[in-house]
Structure 1
Amino acid sequence: MNTSRNITALLAALRGWRGQAGTTTQQRWLELEANARQLRVFEPHFVPGLLQTAAYARLRLLAHARVHHAIDNVDDAVAMRLRRQAILQRAEVEFHFLLTEFGLRSGAYGNSSVMTEQIEKISAQVGDNRVRVGILPLTAEWDANVDHGFWMFERSHVLVETVTAELRLNRPEEIDTYWRVFHLLENKAVYGDDARALLGNVLNSLSR
Protein backbone atom coordinates (compact mmCIF):
# COMPACT_ATOMS: atom_id res chain seq x y z
CA MET A 1 0.00 0.00 0.00
CA ASN A 2 2.85 2.41 0.82
CA THR A 3 4.41 1.72 -2.58
CA SER A 4 1.10 2.37 -4.29
CA ARG A 5 0.64 5.66 -2.42
CA ASN A 6 4.20 6.72 -3.27
CA ILE A 7 3.66 6.02 -6.97
CA THR A 8 0.38 7.93 -6.91
CA ALA A 9 2.03 10.89 -5.18
CA LEU A 10 4.93 10.87 -7.63
CA LEU A 11 2.65 10.82 -10.66
CA ALA A 12 0.63 13.67 -9.18
CA ALA A 13 3.80 15.73 -8.75
CA LEU A 14 4.95 14.97 -12.29
CA ARG A 15 1.55 15.87 -13.70
CA GLY A 16 1.68 19.11 -11.74
CA TRP A 17 5.07 19.93 -13.21
CA ARG A 18 3.82 19.24 -16.75
CA GLY A 19 0.82 21.48 -16.23
CA GLN A 20 2.73 24.36 -14.64
CA ALA A 21 3.64 27.57 -16.37
CA GLY A 22 6.26 27.25 -19.10
CA THR A 23 8.97 29.09 -17.17
CA THR A 24 8.64 26.68 -14.25
CA THR A 25 9.01 23.69 -16.55
CA GLN A 26 12.00 25.23 -18.32
CA GLN A 27 13.66 26.00 -14.97
CA ARG A 28 13.26 22.38 -13.92
CA TRP A 29 14.86 21.21 -17.16
CA LEU A 30 17.68 23.71 -16.67
CA GLU A 31 18.38 22.22 -13.24
CA LEU A 32 18.26 18.64 -14.55
CA GLU A 33 20.64 19.39 -17.40
CA ALA A 34 23.05 21.31 -15.16
CA ASN A 35 24.03 18.06 -13.43
CA ALA A 36 24.28 15.97 -16.57
CA ARG A 37 27.51 14.53 -17.95
CA GLN A 38 25.96 12.57 -20.80
CA LEU A 39 22.71 13.26 -22.65
CA ARG A 40 21.18 11.03 -25.30
CA VAL A 41 18.01 12.44 -26.84
CA PHE A 42 15.60 10.89 -29.32
CA GLU A 43 12.78 12.96 -30.82
CA PRO A 44 10.77 11.37 -33.65
CA HIS A 45 8.38 14.28 -34.28
CA PHE A 46 10.03 17.51 -33.11
CA VAL A 47 13.35 19.29 -32.74
CA PRO A 48 14.66 18.96 -29.15
CA GLY A 49 14.61 22.13 -27.06
CA LEU A 50 18.41 22.33 -26.87
CA LEU A 51 18.57 22.67 -30.67
CA GLN A 52 15.58 24.93 -31.26
CA THR A 53 15.57 28.43 -32.70
CA ALA A 54 13.56 31.11 -30.90
CA ALA A 55 10.81 31.03 -33.55
CA TYR A 56 10.44 27.25 -33.45
CA ALA A 57 10.54 27.23 -29.64
CA ARG A 58 7.80 29.85 -29.53
CA LEU A 59 5.47 27.74 -31.66
CA ARG A 60 6.15 24.62 -29.58
CA LEU A 61 5.61 26.46 -26.30
CA LEU A 62 2.47 28.19 -27.57
CA ALA A 63 1.00 24.79 -28.39
CA HIS A 64 1.86 23.60 -24.87
CA ALA A 65 0.45 26.78 -23.34
CA ARG A 66 -2.87 26.45 -25.14
CA VAL A 67 -3.35 23.01 -23.64
CA HIS A 68 -2.31 24.07 -20.12
CA HIS A 69 -3.83 27.59 -20.14
CA ALA A 70 -0.56 29.46 -19.64
CA ILE A 71 -0.37 31.62 -22.76
CA ASP A 72 0.67 34.77 -20.90
CA ASN A 73 4.16 33.49 -20.02
CA VAL A 74 5.36 32.19 -23.39
CA ASP A 75 7.93 35.00 -23.90
CA ASP A 76 9.62 34.14 -20.60
CA ALA A 77 9.49 30.42 -21.39
CA VAL A 78 11.16 30.98 -24.78
CA ALA A 79 13.93 33.02 -23.15
CA MET A 80 14.45 30.31 -20.55
CA ARG A 81 14.57 27.58 -23.20
CA LEU A 82 17.24 29.48 -25.11
CA ARG A 83 19.19 29.92 -21.87
CA ARG A 84 19.24 26.15 -21.50
CA GLN A 85 21.23 25.89 -24.73
CA ALA A 86 24.30 27.30 -23.01
CA ILE A 87 24.95 23.76 -21.77
CA LEU A 88 26.00 22.84 -25.31
CA GLN A 89 29.17 24.89 -24.73
CA ARG A 90 30.28 22.73 -21.81
CA ALA A 91 33.14 20.54 -22.99
CA GLU A 92 32.70 18.03 -20.16
CA VAL A 93 29.18 17.06 -21.26
CA GLU A 94 28.61 14.48 -24.02
CA PHE A 95 25.60 15.09 -26.28
CA HIS A 96 23.98 12.78 -28.79
CA PHE A 97 20.76 13.81 -30.53
CA LEU A 98 18.71 11.57 -32.80
CA LEU A 99 16.15 13.32 -35.01
CA THR A 100 14.03 12.10 -37.91
CA GLU A 101 13.71 13.43 -41.44
CA PHE A 102 9.94 13.13 -41.02
CA GLY A 103 10.02 15.49 -38.03
CA LEU A 104 12.07 18.03 -39.98
CA ARG A 105 9.79 17.92 -43.00
CA SER A 106 6.61 18.19 -40.97
CA GLY A 107 4.89 21.54 -41.01
CA ALA A 108 3.25 20.90 -37.65
CA TYR A 109 5.42 23.47 -35.87
CA GLY A 110 6.45 26.01 -38.40
CA ASN A 111 6.02 27.39 -41.90
CA SER A 112 8.84 27.21 -44.46
CA SER A 113 10.53 30.33 -43.05
CA VAL A 114 10.60 28.97 -39.49
CA MET A 115 11.74 25.53 -40.61
CA THR A 116 14.45 26.93 -42.91
CA GLU A 117 16.01 28.82 -40.01
CA GLN A 118 15.63 25.77 -37.77
CA ILE A 119 17.26 23.36 -40.20
CA GLU A 120 20.13 25.77 -40.83
CA LYS A 121 20.74 25.86 -37.08
CA ILE A 122 20.81 22.05 -36.89
CA SER A 123 23.12 21.89 -39.91
CA ALA A 124 25.57 24.22 -38.19
CA GLN A 125 25.42 22.05 -35.08
CA VAL A 126 26.30 18.93 -37.11
CA GLY A 127 29.79 20.36 -37.55
CA ASP A 128 30.36 20.77 -33.80
CA ASN A 129 32.66 18.03 -32.52
CA ARG A 130 31.17 18.30 -29.03
CA VAL A 131 27.63 17.55 -30.12
CA ARG A 132 26.70 14.46 -32.14
CA VAL A 133 23.59 14.85 -34.30
CA GLY A 134 22.13 11.91 -36.22
CA ILE A 135 19.10 11.92 -38.50
CA LEU A 136 16.94 8.94 -39.39
CA PRO A 137 16.10 9.19 -43.12
CA LEU A 138 12.59 8.57 -44.37
CA THR A 139 13.90 5.45 -46.09
CA ALA A 140 15.46 3.95 -42.95
CA GLU A 141 14.00 0.69 -41.65
CA TRP A 142 13.87 1.01 -37.88
CA ASP A 143 14.97 -1.95 -35.78
CA ALA A 144 12.99 -0.71 -32.76
CA ASN A 145 9.32 0.19 -32.32
CA VAL A 146 9.11 3.54 -30.55
CA ASP A 147 6.87 6.51 -31.33
CA HIS A 148 7.70 8.85 -28.44
CA GLY A 149 10.69 10.96 -27.57
CA PHE A 150 12.94 10.32 -24.59
CA TRP A 151 15.94 11.84 -22.82
CA MET A 152 18.60 9.60 -21.28
CA PHE A 153 20.72 11.07 -18.48
CA GLU A 154 23.82 8.86 -18.31
CA ARG A 155 22.50 5.49 -17.20
CA SER A 156 20.79 6.95 -14.14
CA HIS A 157 17.33 7.72 -15.52
CA VAL A 158 15.20 8.32 -18.61
CA LEU A 159 12.65 11.12 -19.00
CA VAL A 160 9.57 10.63 -21.18
CA GLU A 161 7.07 13.41 -21.85
CA THR A 162 3.34 12.82 -22.17
CA VAL A 163 0.63 15.44 -22.61
CA THR A 164 0.00 15.57 -18.85
CA ALA A 165 3.18 14.34 -17.15
CA GLU A 166 6.96 14.04 -17.19
CA LEU A 167 7.77 10.39 -16.47
CA ARG A 168 11.11 9.63 -14.83
CA LEU A 169 12.13 6.00 -15.35
CA ASN A 170 14.98 4.72 -13.20
CA ARG A 171 14.57 0.95 -12.96
CA PRO A 172 17.70 -0.74 -14.40
CA GLU A 173 15.69 -2.89 -16.80
CA GLU A 174 13.87 0.19 -18.15
CA ILE A 175 17.11 2.11 -18.63
CA ASP A 176 18.69 -0.89 -20.37
CA THR A 177 15.74 -1.13 -22.75
CA TYR A 178 15.88 2.54 -23.72
CA TRP A 179 19.66 2.31 -24.08
CA ARG A 180 19.20 -0.63 -26.45
CA VAL A 181 16.51 1.20 -28.44
CA PHE A 182 18.74 4.25 -28.82
CA HIS A 183 21.63 2.08 -30.02
CA LEU A 184 19.44 0.32 -32.59
CA LEU A 185 18.16 3.63 -33.92
CA GLU A 186 21.56 5.34 -34.10
CA ASN A 187 22.78 2.51 -36.32
CA LYS A 188 20.12 3.54 -38.86
CA ALA A 189 20.88 7.28 -38.71
CA VAL A 190 23.16 9.38 -40.90
CA TYR A 191 25.85 11.67 -39.48
CA GLY A 192 28.37 14.25 -40.61
CA ASP A 193 28.45 14.99 -44.33
CA ASP A 194 25.58 12.57 -44.97
CA ALA A 195 23.45 14.39 -42.40
CA ARG A 196 24.30 17.75 -43.97
CA ALA A 197 23.34 16.42 -47.39
CA LEU A 198 20.00 15.22 -46.04
CA LEU A 199 19.39 18.59 -44.39
CA GLY A 200 20.27 20.30 -47.66
CA ASN A 201 17.64 18.23 -49.46
CA VAL A 202 15.05 19.21 -46.87
CA LEU A 203 15.99 22.89 -47.28
CA ASN A 204 15.66 22.63 -51.05
CA SER A 205 12.19 21.14 -50.71
CA LEU A 206 11.15 24.02 -48.43
CA SER A 207 12.21 26.61 -50.98
CA ARG A 208 10.06 25.20 -53.77
Structure 2
Amino acid sequence: MQESTADLIRAQLRRRRVAAGLSQEEFGKLVHYSASMVSAVETGSRPYDRPFLARTDEALGSGGLLVALLRIAEREGQPASVLPWLDIQRMARQLRVFEPTLIPGLLQSEGYARAVIRCDDLLSDEEVEQRVAARLDRQAILTQPDPPQLIAVIDEAILHRHAESFRAIMIHQAKHLIAGAERPNVSVHVIPLSAGLHIGLFGPFSLARGVDGGWVATMETQLTATPVDGETELATLLARWETVRNEALSRQQSIELLEEVVKSWS
Protein backbone atom coordinates (compact mmCIF):
# COMPACT_ATOMS: atom_id res chain seq x y z
CA MET A 1 0.00 0.00 0.00
CA GLN A 2 1.30 3.42 -0.76
CA GLU A 3 2.32 5.40 2.27
CA SER A 4 -0.12 8.29 1.77
CA THR A 5 -3.12 5.97 1.55
CA ALA A 6 -2.13 3.96 4.62
CA ASP A 7 -1.53 7.09 6.67
CA LEU A 8 -4.83 8.58 5.50
CA ILE A 9 -6.79 5.51 6.58
CA ARG A 10 -5.24 5.55 10.05
CA ALA A 11 -5.62 9.32 10.40
CA GLN A 12 -9.29 9.14 9.42
CA LEU A 13 -9.84 6.29 11.88
CA ARG A 14 -8.38 8.24 14.79
CA ARG A 15 -10.03 11.56 13.80
CA ARG A 16 -13.49 10.02 13.55
CA ARG A 17 -13.09 8.03 16.77
CA VAL A 18 -12.12 11.17 18.68
CA ALA A 19 -14.93 13.18 17.04
CA ALA A 20 -17.39 10.50 18.20
CA GLY A 21 -16.17 11.01 21.77
CA LEU A 22 -14.96 7.43 22.09
CA SER A 23 -11.87 6.33 23.97
CA GLN A 24 -9.77 3.59 22.43
CA GLU A 25 -11.25 1.14 24.93
CA GLU A 26 -14.85 2.17 24.15
CA PHE A 27 -14.25 2.01 20.42
CA GLY A 28 -12.47 -1.33 20.77
CA LYS A 29 -15.55 -2.88 22.37
CA LEU A 30 -17.61 -1.82 19.36
CA VAL A 31 -15.26 -3.44 16.84
CA HIS A 32 -14.10 -6.37 19.02
CA TYR A 33 -10.54 -5.09 19.54
CA SER A 34 -8.71 -4.37 22.79
CA ALA A 35 -7.71 -0.79 23.56
CA SER A 36 -4.06 -1.71 23.04
CA MET A 37 -4.83 -3.17 19.63
CA VAL A 38 -6.78 -0.06 18.62
CA SER A 39 -3.78 2.03 19.63
CA ALA A 40 -1.44 -0.22 17.67
CA VAL A 41 -3.62 0.02 14.56
CA GLU A 42 -3.79 3.81 14.81
CA THR A 43 0.00 4.11 15.11
CA GLY A 44 0.67 1.58 12.36
CA SER A 45 2.41 -1.08 14.47
CA ARG A 46 -0.43 -3.56 13.91
CA PRO A 47 -2.42 -4.26 10.71
CA TYR A 48 -6.03 -3.59 9.83
CA ASP A 49 -8.05 -5.55 7.32
CA ARG A 50 -11.27 -5.10 5.35
CA PRO A 51 -13.60 -6.60 8.04
CA PHE A 52 -12.09 -4.29 10.66
CA LEU A 53 -12.52 -1.22 8.46
CA ALA A 54 -16.09 -2.25 7.62
CA ARG A 55 -16.94 -2.57 11.34
CA THR A 56 -15.27 0.79 11.95
CA ASP A 57 -17.33 2.48 9.23
CA GLU A 58 -20.47 1.04 10.80
CA ALA A 59 -19.52 1.92 14.38
CA LEU A 60 -18.50 5.49 13.54
CA GLY A 61 -21.15 6.14 10.91
CA SER A 62 -18.55 7.13 8.33
CA GLY A 63 -20.60 5.94 5.38
CA GLY A 64 -18.09 3.40 4.10
CA LEU A 65 -15.23 5.91 3.86
CA LEU A 66 -12.48 3.67 5.20
CA VAL A 67 -13.44 0.73 3.01
CA ALA A 68 -13.56 3.12 0.05
CA LEU A 69 -10.01 4.29 0.84
CA LEU A 70 -8.94 0.65 0.90
CA ARG A 71 -10.45 0.20 -2.58
CA ILE A 72 -8.40 3.18 -3.79
CA ALA A 73 -5.25 1.46 -2.54
CA GLU A 74 -6.27 -1.69 -4.40
CA ARG A 75 -6.74 0.27 -7.62
CA GLU A 76 -3.21 1.60 -7.20
CA GLY A 77 -2.03 -1.87 -8.15
CA GLN A 78 -1.89 -3.92 -4.96
CA PRO A 79 -3.87 -7.13 -4.41
CA ALA A 80 -6.28 -6.65 -1.51
CA SER A 81 -4.88 -9.70 0.29
CA VAL A 82 -1.41 -8.19 0.75
CA LEU A 83 -2.33 -4.62 1.70
CA PRO A 84 -2.21 -5.07 5.50
CA TRP A 85 1.18 -6.77 5.29
CA LEU A 86 2.62 -4.05 3.04
CA ASP A 87 1.68 -1.47 5.65
CA ILE A 88 3.42 -3.51 8.35
CA GLN A 89 6.46 -3.94 6.11
CA ARG A 90 6.76 -0.20 5.62
CA MET A 91 6.73 0.46 9.37
CA ALA A 92 9.09 -2.38 10.38
CA ARG A 93 12.54 -1.96 11.86
CA GLN A 94 13.60 -5.51 10.94
CA LEU A 95 12.26 -7.87 8.29
CA ARG A 96 12.97 -11.60 8.16
CA VAL A 97 11.85 -13.32 4.97
CA PHE A 98 12.05 -16.97 3.99
CA GLU A 99 11.23 -18.10 0.44
CA PRO A 100 11.60 -21.67 -0.88
CA THR A 101 10.26 -21.05 -4.41
CA LEU A 102 10.63 -17.37 -5.43
CA ILE A 103 13.04 -14.48 -4.91
CA PRO A 104 11.52 -12.25 -2.17
CA GLY A 105 9.61 -9.30 -3.60
CA LEU A 106 11.86 -6.70 -1.94
CA LEU A 107 14.86 -8.17 -3.77
CA GLN A 108 13.34 -8.86 -7.19
CA SER A 109 14.72 -7.22 -10.32
CA GLU A 110 12.22 -5.58 -12.65
CA GLY A 111 12.49 -8.33 -15.25
CA TYR A 112 12.06 -11.11 -12.70
CA ALA A 113 9.12 -9.34 -11.04
CA ARG A 114 7.39 -8.92 -14.39
CA ALA A 115 7.95 -12.58 -15.31
CA VAL A 116 6.56 -13.77 -11.97
CA ILE A 117 3.51 -11.50 -12.05
CA ARG A 118 2.77 -12.48 -15.67
CA CYS A 119 2.31 -16.08 -14.50
CA ASP A 120 -1.19 -14.99 -13.43
CA ASP A 121 -2.96 -15.16 -16.78
CA LEU A 122 -6.06 -13.52 -15.29
CA LEU A 123 -4.23 -10.17 -15.19
CA SER A 124 -4.32 -7.76 -18.12
CA ASP A 125 -1.10 -6.24 -19.43
CA GLU A 126 -2.03 -2.98 -17.70
CA GLU A 127 -2.61 -4.74 -14.37
CA VAL A 128 0.72 -6.55 -14.70
CA GLU A 129 2.57 -3.28 -15.23
CA GLN A 130 0.73 -1.66 -12.30
CA ARG A 131 1.80 -4.47 -10.01
CA VAL A 132 5.38 -4.42 -11.27
CA ALA A 133 5.57 -0.68 -10.63
CA ALA A 134 4.05 -1.09 -7.17
CA ARG A 135 6.49 -3.89 -6.29
CA LEU A 136 9.49 -1.82 -7.37
CA ASP A 137 8.16 1.21 -5.45
CA ARG A 138 8.00 -0.87 -2.27
CA GLN A 139 11.70 -1.64 -2.54
CA ALA A 140 12.42 2.02 -1.76
CA ILE A 141 12.10 1.20 1.96
CA LEU A 142 15.53 -0.44 1.73
CA THR A 143 17.25 2.73 0.53
CA GLN A 144 15.33 5.34 2.50
CA PRO A 145 16.99 7.20 5.39
CA ASP A 146 17.14 4.91 8.45
CA PRO A 147 15.99 1.83 6.48
CA PRO A 148 14.87 -1.43 8.11
CA GLN A 149 17.23 -4.37 8.34
CA LEU A 150 16.28 -7.10 5.87
CA ILE A 151 17.45 -10.68 6.38
CA ALA A 152 16.36 -12.94 3.53
CA VAL A 153 16.81 -16.70 3.40
CA ILE A 154 16.13 -18.46 0.10
CA ASP A 155 16.43 -22.04 -1.09
CA GLU A 156 19.10 -22.68 -3.72
CA ALA A 157 16.50 -24.46 -5.87
CA ILE A 158 15.10 -21.00 -6.74
CA LEU A 159 18.34 -20.18 -8.55
CA HIS A 160 18.12 -23.21 -10.81
CA ARG A 161 14.47 -22.90 -11.84
CA HIS A 162 14.81 -21.46 -15.33
CA ALA A 163 14.08 -22.26 -18.96
CA GLU A 164 16.48 -21.22 -21.69
CA SER A 165 14.29 -18.21 -22.49
CA PHE A 166 14.48 -17.21 -18.81
CA ARG A 167 18.27 -17.40 -18.58
CA ALA A 168 19.01 -13.69 -19.14
CA ILE A 169 16.40 -12.70 -16.56
CA MET A 170 17.89 -15.05 -13.96
CA ILE A 171 21.45 -13.88 -14.62
CA HIS A 172 20.34 -10.30 -14.03
CA GLN A 173 18.33 -11.36 -10.97
CA ALA A 174 21.33 -13.12 -9.43
CA LYS A 175 23.47 -10.03 -9.98
CA HIS A 176 20.67 -7.94 -8.46
CA LEU A 177 20.70 -10.19 -5.37
CA ILE A 178 24.47 -9.81 -5.04
CA ALA A 179 24.18 -6.02 -5.24
CA GLY A 180 21.41 -6.06 -2.66
CA ALA A 181 23.39 -8.28 -0.31
CA GLU A 182 26.25 -5.78 -0.37
CA ARG A 183 24.10 -3.11 1.29
CA PRO A 184 24.83 -2.75 5.01
CA ASN A 185 21.18 -3.26 5.98
CA VAL A 186 20.56 -6.32 3.77
CA SER A 187 21.67 -9.93 4.28
CA VAL A 188 20.93 -12.72 1.82
CA HIS A 189 21.48 -16.32 2.88
CA VAL A 190 21.07 -19.38 0.66
CA ILE A 191 20.11 -22.84 1.87
CA PRO A 192 22.22 -25.13 -0.34
CA LEU A 193 20.69 -28.09 -2.14
CA SER A 194 22.98 -30.31 -0.07
CA ALA A 195 20.89 -29.46 3.01
CA GLY A 196 18.23 -31.85 1.71
CA LEU A 197 14.79 -31.69 3.32
CA HIS A 198 14.14 -28.91 5.85
CA ILE A 199 11.18 -27.33 7.65
CA GLY A 200 11.14 -24.34 5.32
CA LEU A 201 9.86 -26.49 2.47
CA PHE A 202 6.43 -26.33 4.12
CA GLY A 203 6.10 -22.82 2.69
CA PRO A 204 7.21 -19.18 2.72
CA PHE A 205 6.77 -16.87 5.68
CA SER A 206 7.84 -13.40 6.75
CA LEU A 207 8.39 -11.75 10.13
CA ALA A 208 8.43 -8.05 10.91
CA ARG A 209 9.57 -6.35 14.11
CA GLY A 210 7.93 -2.99 14.68
CA VAL A 211 9.15 0.13 16.43
CA ASP A 212 7.54 -1.20 19.63
CA GLY A 213 9.68 -4.33 19.48
CA GLY A 214 6.71 -6.58 18.80
CA TRP A 215 6.61 -9.15 16.01
CA VAL A 216 4.01 -9.71 13.31
CA ALA A 217 4.20 -12.51 10.75
CA THR A 218 2.56 -13.50 7.51
CA MET A 219 2.23 -16.80 5.71
CA GLU A 220 1.40 -16.56 2.03
CA THR A 221 -0.85 -18.88 0.07
CA GLN A 222 -2.12 -18.78 -3.52
CA LEU A 223 -4.88 -16.39 -2.42
CA THR A 224 -3.87 -14.55 0.72
CA ALA A 225 -1.03 -13.06 2.74
CA THR A 226 -2.75 -12.69 6.09
CA PRO A 227 -0.83 -11.11 8.99
CA VAL A 228 -0.44 -13.31 12.07
CA ASP A 229 0.19 -11.90 15.54
CA GLY A 230 -1.06 -14.62 17.89
CA GLU A 231 1.49 -15.52 20.56
CA THR A 232 1.55 -19.25 19.77
CA GLU A 233 1.75 -18.78 16.00
CA LEU A 234 4.51 -16.19 16.31
CA ALA A 235 6.52 -18.44 18.62
CA THR A 236 6.26 -21.26 16.08
CA LEU A 237 7.37 -19.10 13.15
CA LEU A 238 10.22 -17.52 15.12
CA ALA A 239 11.45 -21.02 15.95
CA ARG A 240 11.15 -22.08 12.32
CA TRP A 241 13.08 -18.99 11.29
CA GLU A 242 15.98 -20.03 13.50
CA THR A 243 15.90 -23.48 11.88
CA VAL A 244 16.00 -22.25 8.27
CA ARG A 245 18.58 -19.59 9.11
CA ASN A 246 20.82 -22.25 10.64
CA GLU A 247 20.49 -24.40 7.50
CA ALA A 248 21.65 -21.51 5.31
CA LEU A 249 25.13 -20.48 4.30
CA SER A 250 26.80 -17.41 5.76
CA ARG A 251 26.39 -14.04 4.06
CA GLN A 252 29.74 -14.26 2.27
CA GLN A 253 29.31 -17.91 1.31
CA SER A 254 25.91 -17.08 -0.12
CA ILE A 255 27.34 -14.25 -2.23
CA GLU A 256 30.03 -16.60 -3.52
CA LEU A 257 27.38 -19.19 -4.45
CA LEU A 258 25.40 -16.50 -6.32
CA GLU A 259 28.54 -15.50 -8.18
CA GLU A 260 29.10 -19.13 -9.17
CA VAL A 261 25.53 -19.33 -10.45
CA VAL A 262 26.09 -16.25 -12.64
CA LYS A 263 29.30 -17.76 -14.02
CA SER A 264 27.60 -21.06 -14.82
CA TRP A 265 24.90 -19.30 -16.86
CA SER A 266 27.13 -16.79 -18.64
Query: Which residue pairs with 2:13 in the alignment?
Result: none
Match of 2:95 in 1: 39
Shift, 1:152, TM fit: 0.7
Q: Please point out which of 129, 141, 148 is paired with 1:93.
A: 148
Amino acid at match of 1:205: S
Code of the aligned partner of 2:103: V
Equivalent in 194, 203, 206 of residue 262 of structure 2: 203
Alpha-carbon distance between aligned partners in 2 of 1:94 and 1:204, rounded to the nearest angstrom:
29
| Structure 1 unaligned regions, length at least 5 | 4-8
What are the superposed Cα offsets for residues 158-203 of structure 1, whole Å, 9 maximum, x if unpaired?
1111112222222111111111111111112113321121112211
The residue aligned with 1:111 is: 166
Out of 229, 232, 243, the residue aligned to residue 173 of structure 1 is: 232
For 1:95, give the aligned amino acid. Answer: L
Contact 1:22 1:73 in 2 (8 A): no
- Say whether the 8 Å CA contact 1:144–1:184 is kept in structure 2: yes
2:176 and 2:231 mapped to 1: Cα distance? 35
Deviations 1:109-128 (A, max 9, x none): x7110000000010112222
Distance in 2, Cα, partners of 1:60 & 1:143? 25
Q: How big is each residue's C-alpha offset from its partner over 1:94-116, in whole Å with a ceiling of 9 and x where there is no partner?
A: 211001111111117x7110000
Tell me, in whole angstroms, the C-alpha distance in 1 between the residues paired with 2:114 and 2:147: 29
Q: Give the aligned partner of residue 61 of structure 1.
A: 117
Secondary structure, in 3 states, of the residue corresponding to 2:118?
Answer: helix
Once the two structures are superposed, residues 132-181 of structure 1 have per-residue CA deviations (whole angstroms, 9 ceiling, x without a partner) of 11111111245535431111112432111111222222211111111111
Are 2:98 and 2:200, in contact at CA under 8 Å, matched by a contact in 1? no
Bigger shift: 118-127 or 150-159?
150-159
Aligned residue runs from structure 1 range 16-35, under 5 A: 23-25=77-79, 28=83, 30-35=86-91
Contact 1:42-1:97 within 8 A present in 2 as well? yes
Aligned with 1:80 (options 100, 110, 134): 134
Aligned residue pairs: how many?
Answer: 191
What is the match of residue 6 of structure 1?
none
Please name the residue that 2:243 is paired with: 184
SS for the counterpart of 2:202 is coil
Q: d(CA) in 2 for partners of 1:51 and 1:116?
A: 14
What is aligned with 2:219?
A: 160
State the match for 2:181 in structure 1: 126
Map Cα deviations across residues 35-94 of structure 1 (whole Å, 9 max, x no partner). Answer: 111110000010011000100000111113x2x444431112111111111111243512
C-alpha separation between the residues in 1 aligned to 2:198 and 2:100? Answer: 14
Give the stretch that moved more between structures: 177-186 or 147-156.
Answer: 147-156
3-state SS of 2:240 partner: helix
Asked if the contact 2:141/2:147 (under 8 Å) is kept, the reply is no
Aligned residues of 1:52 and 1:118 also touching (Cα < 8 A): yes
Distance 2:247 2:171 in 1: 24
Q: Which amino acid aligns with 1:157?
A: V
Q: Which one of 196, 201, 205 corresponds to residue 150 of structure 1?
A: 205
